[in-house]
Amino acid sequence: MPKIVYSRVIKEDPQQLKELEKRHRYTHLFQRVRMLRLLESEECRNLGEAAEALGYSWRQCQRWFASYKEGGLEELLKSRVSERGRQELVTPEA
């Protein structure tokens, strides 16, 4: 499997990511932006190191990075809180 050069994949510069981190500091999106900054600035060399630094699983960071690759910052920062939990069993028609 080829090695990912995160600084080439991540389009935003570290300063821009730092500003985004400040903006999202008290939200659940903070760690996602922080992961990008750690990878882009090469403080962390891979998703495993970033996951360890953030206290999340490698798989969770992989999902975040996949959503970033798919749709950029817009997709990464899309809040899906309302999608969590049990789904309604009764259809609206019923």
Question: What pLDDT is attached to residue 13?
Answer: 85
Structure tokens at 38: 């750690």
The whole model's pTM is what?
0.78
Q: State which residues of the chain have pLDDT below 70.
A: 1-2, 80-88, 94
> Is the Cβ–Cβ distance between 6 and 22 less than 8 Å?
no
Question: What pLDDT is attached to residue 27?
Answer: 87
Site of tokens 């997709």: 75
Question: What pLDDT is attached to residue 79?
Answer: 74
Question: What pLDDT is attached to residue 94?
Answer: 63
> Is the Cβ–Cβ distance between 10 and 39 less than 8 Å?
yes
Question: What pLDDT is attached to residue 80?
Answer: 67
